[in-house]
């Protein structure tokens, strides 16, 4: 049976890294006897440049009917001065909302030897393995009303959460934690925000249904500090949309490069799999972007969209082995003190590892 994957390259380095993920999946297909069909569609700046909306209708329809969606990144400085609704990012936000992708999983791992690339002392980060569970379709990103006053002297957004929205994302976090180290830290700003008070009370109720998982609450500012001082104390971090956006980039920094972080966005229908990083315009077209975040997103696609755990682990092992050989793009080669490889070389090394794993 063929798995249909919609490929949304997007902008900047998006198409390059998404192409790397496609190559990794094709190699998985050859080794494990799976057939993948990739269908490319425009999104973001790529769509806007062609005179289309940031999420063209047929792109959304194709995603709805696919087995999974693989995205590179969106974002193009050309549209920086445009109003929110006419920016490339609006296409991604609309896709998340339309597909009901409320659960965003952002795993952060330091691979063996990777501690040398971290800006923190190696003994602080060796073996780091945490998961950020970010609510993705609510909060400030989508709350109404939003806009600006008629005289354009004020602008406003609304942070709004319902119990039902908090409950379903909390349930995801507790289930993930139960399969890991059984610890959830729920991150909020309950000392200031009503939404956070509702969040905390709701998470408590969900937590009571999962007695095997230890639940703690932490304010977001305090969590940002702890991520730098003692990142290994975290197993699962559960948080709302904006806090999760910020904390996941910070946690990505622990690895030395945002380029290695994958993500899975899940709802009731097809999932969306994309690296955490953006379109990195300065790196675009230079064959210098780190493809590991995109390739690891393909591993999450195998795991969460297809239930193909052996295949997912084969991809993760291939990335780890490539990393262990110090075959890295400049973002990691710099801090590791090794000669940099190109994006295409790292991709080829990962594909070779998937095809015939060392040892
Ligand atoms: P960015 O993630 O593109 O870049 C942040 C830093 O990380 C830069 O120094 C960049 O060079 C580096 N970096 C990112 N990905 C890398 C990779 N694969 N390999 C090596 N280095 C990498 O964030 P930004 O500069 O704030 O945003 C650029 C554009 O991307 C903006 O338009 C923004 O809105 C958009 N964006 C999109 C997504 C997405 O599509 N999911 C995520 C974040 C930002
Ligand atoms: C991310 C990005 C997006 C977000 C932007 C591009 C809309 O930063 O996926 O982390 O803020 O969610
Ligand atoms: Mn982000």
Q: Does 159 have pLDDT greater than 90?
A: yes
The 10s digit of each residue's pLDDT in 170-221 is 999 999 999 999 999 999 999 999 999 999 999 999 999 999 999 999 999 9
* 119 domain residue, yes or no: no
The predicted pLDDT at position 358 comes to 85
Closest ligand to the CA of 246:
3
Q: What are the pLDDT digits (tens) for 311-348?
A: 999 999 999 999 999 999 999 999 999 999 999 999 99
* Phi, psi angles (nearest 5°) of residue 155: -135, 155
Residue 258 falls inside a structural domain: no
Residue 359 designated active-site: no
The answer on 84 and 40 residing in a single domain is: yes
Clarify whether residues 94 and 137 are in a common domain. Answer: no
Any domain includes 39: yes
Overall size of the chain counted in residues: 359
Residues 82-89 have a mean pLDDT of 93
Q: What is the pLDDT of the chain when averaged over all its residues? A: 97
Residue finishing a domain among 206, 232, 253:
253
Asked if 221 is an active-site residue, the reply is yes
pLDDT tens, 217-244? 999 999 999 999 999 999 999 999 999 9
- We report the CATH number of the domain holding residue 166 as 3.40.718.10
Task: Identify the domain boundary among 211, 230, 253.
Answer: 253
pLDDT at 244: 98
Which pLDDT value is given to residue 85?
87
Clarify whether residues 95 and 10 are in a common domain.
Answer: yes
| 122 lies in some domain | no
The percent of residues above 90 in pLDDT, for the chain, comes to 98
Say if 56 falls within a structural domain. yes
Tens digit of pLDDT for each residue in 249-269? 999 999 999 999 999 999 999
Give the angle 143-300-236 at the CA atoms, nearest 5°: 60
Active site residue 129: no
Domain co-membership, 156 together with 229: yes
- 207 within a domain of the structure (yes/no): yes
Catalytic residue selected from 141, 161, 235, 331: 141
| Whether residue 339 sits in one domain with residue 286 | yes
Q: Above pLDDT 70, what percent of the chain?
A: 100
Q: How confident is the model at residue 165 (pLDDT cuts 50, 70, 90)?
A: very high
Ligand 2 mean position, distance from CA 49 (Å): 20
Domain presence at residue 110: no
* Domain presence at residue 118: no
**Number of independent structural domains in the chain:** 2
Whether residue 300 sits in one domain with residue 219: no
Tell me if the pTM is above 0.95.
Answer: yes
Q: Whose CA is nearest to atom 33 of ligand 1?
A: 75
Q: Is the pLDDT of residue 359 over 80?
A: no
Asked which of 219, 253, 287 is the last residue of a domain, the reply is 253
Q: Residue 204 C-alpha to ligand 3 middle, in angstroms?
A: 27
Residues 135 and 247 in one domain: yes
Contact residues of ligand 2, CB 6 A cut-off? 75, 89, 92-93, 245, 276, 278
Mutate to test the pocket of ligand 1, among 14, 276, 278 (most ligand atoms within 8 A of CB): 278
Which residues surround ligand 1 with Cβ inside 6 Å? 13, 17, 73-75, 89, 92, 257-259, 274, 277-280, 282-283, 289-290, 293, 329, 331
Neighbouring-strand partners of residue 266? 103
> What tens digit of pLDDT does each residue of 256-307 get?
999 999 999 999 999 999 999 999 999 999 999 999 999 999 999 999 999 9
The verdict on 271 and 246 lying in the same domain is no
**Do both 225 and 298 map to the same domain?**
no
Looking at the CA of residue 96, tell me the nearest atom of ligand 2: 12
Q: In the predicted model, what is the mean pLDDT of residues 92-105?
A: 98
Domain enclosing residue 25, as ranges: 1-103+266-359
């Amino acid at each position: 049976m063929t798995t249909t994957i919609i490929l949304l390259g997007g902008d900047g380095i998006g198409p390059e890294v998404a192409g790397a993920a496609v190559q990794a999946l094709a190699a998985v297909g050859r080794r494990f006897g799976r057939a993948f069909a990739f269908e490319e569609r425009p999104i973001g700046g790529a769509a806007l440049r062609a005179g289309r909306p940031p999420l063209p209708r047929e792109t959304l329809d194709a995603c709805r009917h696919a087995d999974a969606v693989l995205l590179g990144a969106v974002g193009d400085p050309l549209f920086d001065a445009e109003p929110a609704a006419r920016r490339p990012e609006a296409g991604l936000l609309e896709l998340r909302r339309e597909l009901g992708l409320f659960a965003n999983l952002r795993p952060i791992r330091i691979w063996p030897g990777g501690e040398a690339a971290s800006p923190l002392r190696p003994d602080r980060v060796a073996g780091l393995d945490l998961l950020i569970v970010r609510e993705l379709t609510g909060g400030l990103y989508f709350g109404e009303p939003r806009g600006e006053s008629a005289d354009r002297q004020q602008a406003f957004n609304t942070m709004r959460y319902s119990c039902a929205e908090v409950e379903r994302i909390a349930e995801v976090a507790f289930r993930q934690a139960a399969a890991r180290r059984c610890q959830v830290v729920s991150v909020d700003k309950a000392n200031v925000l009503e939404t956070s008070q509702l969040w905390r009370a709701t998470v408590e109720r969900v937590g009571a249904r999962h007695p095997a998982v230890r639940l703690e609450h932490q304010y977001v500012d305090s969590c940002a500090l702890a991520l730098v001082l003692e990142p290994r104390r975290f197993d699962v971090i559960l948080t709302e949309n904006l806090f999760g956006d910020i904390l996941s980039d910070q946690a990505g920094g622990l690895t030395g490069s945002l380029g290695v972080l994958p993500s899975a966005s899940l709802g009731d229908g097809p999932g969306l799999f994309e690296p955490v990083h953006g379109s990195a315009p300065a790196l675009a077209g230079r064959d210098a972007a780190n493809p590991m975040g995109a390739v690891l997103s393909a591993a999450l696609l195998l795991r969460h969209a297809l239930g193909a755990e052996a295949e997912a682990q084969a991809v993760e092992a291939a990335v780890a082995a490539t990393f262990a050989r110090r075959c890295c793009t400049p973002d990691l080669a710099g801090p590791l003190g090794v000669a940099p490889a190109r994006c295409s070389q790292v991709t080829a090394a990962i594909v070779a590892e998937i095809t015939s794993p060392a040892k």
